[in-house]
Structure 1
Amino acid sequence: MKIEAAVTEHTSAPFTLDELDLDAPRSDEVLVRLAGTGVCHTDLVVRDQWLPVPLPAVLGHEGAGVVEDVGDGVHHVAPGDHVVLTYDHCGACRRCAEGRPALCAHFLTRNFSGVRPDGSTSLRRGTTEVRGRFFGQSSFATHAIATSGNTVRVPTDLPLPLLGPLACGIQTGAGSVLNSLRCAAGSSIAIFGTGSVACAAVLAAVLSGCTTIITVGRNPAKLRFTAELGATHTLLARNEAAEDIRDLTGGGAEYSLDTTAKPAILRQAVECLDQGGICGHLGASAPGTEVHLDMISLLFSRQVRGIVEGDSVPAQFIPALAELYRQGRFPLDKLIATYPLSDINQAVTEADQRPQPKAVVIPG
């Protein structure tokens, strides 16, 4: 079928709308008419080739839409269902069997190769292949082919375009607090960064009952926005940020999150911890990026742990977040600004200007 998609032609190129041919779904695939797709930092680092997905490609990996067709091996969704398209995983390796699909042994090939496991792509421009299957979807488009494993059904009475970011960025930020760190009621957390992942972490910290929620960033307006979401303290980023946090918490935070992927900030996120504290690292950096940490500081039971996709099981966690949104306890709509798909480049360039950290592009 013919679709319209935003194509990344070459390194750091602006997105360009083009008409492409999309395959019909195979046995284990799902055809989805997209209602909205979140724009994530990972899309941009792939566009800029920090992570080398072959180009040209259609990116986008926070899709939400309506099922139009399914392959004969798909039984958990049907045409007409509302779905969120999350990261892909094999469902059969040891980590998937343990209920840890974000650590799938085939995560990189299934999400960053731009092709199916058999090497084929679902998109073409005439006779020329265009890489699809980014995160098992390539959802900067009017339609996408998803997989049975990354299609999550959501209620039909919620605003579907706003649910797309649950697929990755919001799932990652919220899951880091709720699943990975399991922040206790009455605890303290320092969150470095003010993007959508950080803001989702603030909302989750409020849900968890954290009584000290500190955000650290460079943009005063975005810091004020985190306070509106529930941050109890905001700090402008500076070299002494870790010391500031230790002063605010009377010795150090129990938990911290680095969402920036900057080595100096990750070090601050570790140094701001109290003894026994845990730092979660969840930013996407260029391969080979290194960080230097004080080994004596780590000796006193401080921990650093990497977090992928908030350690979530999407089929359970995405509907749970959607229900919390319905109840008014997880107001994800506050994080979102919408744009037509044709204005995707504007959505990217305005990221530092608008208070809402998450852009969602809507086909139309």
Structure 2
Amino acid sequence: MQIKAALAHANNAELRIEDIDLAEPGPGEVIVRVVATGLCHTDLTVLAHAPLPWPAVLGHEGAGVVVKVGAGVAKVVEGDHVLMTTSSCGTCKSCVAGQPSYCVHFRALNTSGGFRRDGGCSHSQHGKPVYGRFLGQSSFASHVLAGERNLIKVDKALPLDLLAPLGCGIQTGVGAVLNTLRPSAGSSLVVFGAGAVGLSALMAAKLAGCTTLIAVDRLASRLELARELGAMHAIDAGQADAVAAIREITGAGADYAVEATGIPAVMAQAIEALGIGGTVALVGVAGATASVSFNPMELQNKRITIKGSIMAGDHGVPDVFIPELIDFWQRGLLPIEKLVKHYSFDQINQAVHDAHDGSTVKPVMRLPQ
């Protein structure tokens, strides 16, 4: 079928909305008409310097309506409303153990470019392959070809144009805290980077009962929003020594930290800012060649734990976790509407610009219906 997609033709190039072709759903696959899609920091990172075979369709915070189902699909039917997340196989040792975010076949399923076992590609233009099914979706398009496991069915009364970021950014921030760190009530937690992921982690820390909440960023507007969402302390990293400030606030270092910038030097700060027995979750995407330096003796002497966390986090299952996030939002405990700014699909380049300069925390594009 022919669809509209925002194509990237090179690194740092503007996206162009063009007609492309999308394959019909095979066994276990579903076509979803996209109602809305978030723009994630990972999209920005890939657009900036990924060595992709261009053109490519990115986007992985899609939400929409099922329009076609392939053979064997039992989870959804045509007309169902769904949120979308990354792909997982469901059969590897990680998936079987309830760790779909760490599926053994994650890269093959989510970054194959849409190539199928028969050598064909799910997305094409003028008979030539288009890099598609990015992180299981490629939701910068009017329609998505997803796997059944990508989908979380939701009530048709829910606002898809608000909840779309639950598929990645919001899920990742909350999952890092509630599933990976699991902080104890009364503890201290610092978030490095007050973007969508970091602010979601901050809201989750408040949910978990952390009583000393600290946000670190360079943008005054984001620090102000962090205070509104529960931060007791907001540190401007451009004006102060963040590690020294955290130690002064906590007395001896934070109990927990979430690093959400993806900047190696900030990751090192997040480790350094921990107190005895502290744990940090590294969430920000730093790139395949990045490295982080730390003093191993400090880790030993302070009994520090460094964890990685992506998507739903440790033992987070999206089919269970995303409905929990929706429940938190419905009860006013996860006010994600304070992060979101809406754009029309043809404003996607403006959304990219606003995400880069920090003027918008979580851009969400509404697709023409």
TM-score bracket for the superposition, by shorter chain length? over 0.9
- Structure 2 counterpart of 1:66, which letter? V
- Structure 1 counterpart of 2:223, which letter? L
Aligned position for 1:350? 354
- Structure 2 counterpart of 1:112, which letter? T
Aligned position for 2:12? 12
2:57 matches 1:55:
no
Write the distance in 2 (CA, Å) between the matches of 1:360 and 1:271. 35
Q: Secondary structure at the match of 1:225?
A: helix
2:138 matches 1:162:
no
- Structure 2 counterpart of 1:14, which letter? E
Partners of 1:192 and 1:269 within 8 A in 2: yes
- Structure 1 counterpart of 2:83, which letter? V
1:217-246 Cα offsets, whole Å, 9 max, x none, are 111111101111111110011572111101
2:282 matches 1:278:
no
- Structure 2 counterpart of 1:361, which letter? M
Please report the RMSD computed on the Cα atoms of aligned residues, expressed in angstroms.
Answer: 1.4
Q: Secondary structure at the match of 2:38?
A: strand
Write the distance in 2 (CA, Å) between the matches of 1:53 and 1:166. 26
CA drift of 1:117 comes to 4.7
Q: How does 1:238-249 map to 2 (within 5 A)?
A: 238=238, 240-249=241-250
Q: Cα distance 1:356–1:210, how it changes in 2: closer, same or farther (>3 A)?
A: farther
1:69-108 Cα offsets, whole Å, 9 max, x none, are 1112110111111101100111111111111011111111
- Structure 2 counterpart of 1:298, which letter? L
Write the distance in 1 (CA, Å) between the matches of 2:242 and 2:59. 34
Write the distance in 2 (CA, Å) between the matches of 1:225 and 1:42. 22
- Structure 2 counterpart of 1:326, which letter? Q
Q: Give the alignment's TM-score, normalised by structure 2.
A: 0.95
Partners of 1:110 and 1:116 within 8 A in 2: no
Q: Cα distance 1:202–1:132, how it changes in 2: closer, same or farther (>3 A)?
A: same
CA drift of 1:49 comes to 3.1
Aligned position for 1:81? 80
Write the distance in 1 (CA, Å) between the matches of 2:253 and 2:120. 51
In structure 2, stretches of 5+ residues that fail to align are: none
Aligned position for 1:317? 321
CA drift of 1:351 comes to 2.2
Q: Secondary structure at the match of 1:57?
A: coil
Q: Give the alignment's TM-score, normalised by structure 1.
A: 0.96
- Structure 1 counterpart of 2:151, which letter? T
Q: How does 1:129-144 map to 2 (within 5 A)?
A: 129-144=129-144
Q: How does 1:34-53 map to 2 (within 5 A)?
A: 34-50=34-50, 52-53=51-52
CA drift of 1:123 comes to 1.4
Write the distance in 2 (CA, Å) between the matches of 1:251 and 1:354. 31
- Structure 1 counterpart of 2:246, which letter? I
Write the distance in 1 (CA, Å) between the matches of 2:337 and 2:131. 31
2:325 matches 1:308:
no
Q: How does 1:1-364 map to 2 (within 5 A)?
A: 1-50=1-50, 52-118=51-117, 119-238=119-238, 240-299=241-300, 300-311=302-313, 312-351=316-355, 356-364=360-368
Partners of 1:110 and 1:117 within 8 A in 2: no
1:132-170 Cα offsets, whole Å, 9 max, x none, are 111111110111111011111112221111111111111
- Structure 1 counterpart of 2:354, which letter? E
Q: Secondary structure at the match of 2:53?
A: coil
Partners of 2:31 and 2:143 within 8 A in 1: yes
Write the distance in 2 (CA, Å) between the matches of 1:121 and 1:282. 31
- Structure 2 counterpart of 1:301, which letter? R
Partners of 1:225 and 1:355 within 8 A in 2: no
Write the distance in 2 (CA, Å) between the matches of 1:288 and 1:355. 28
CA drift of 1:53 comes to 3.7
- The share of aligned pairs that are identical, in percent, is 43
Write the distance in 1 (CA, Å) between the matches of 2:341 and 2:140. 16
Write the distance in 2 (CA, Å) between the matches of 1:120 and 1:243. 55
- Structure 1 counterpart of 2:160, which letter? L
Write the distance in 1 (CA, Å) between the matches of 2:114 and 2:23. 13
- Structure 2 counterpart of 1:81, which letter? D
Alignment coverage as a number of residue pairs: 363
Write the distance in 2 (CA, Å) between the matches of 1:86 and 1:92. 17
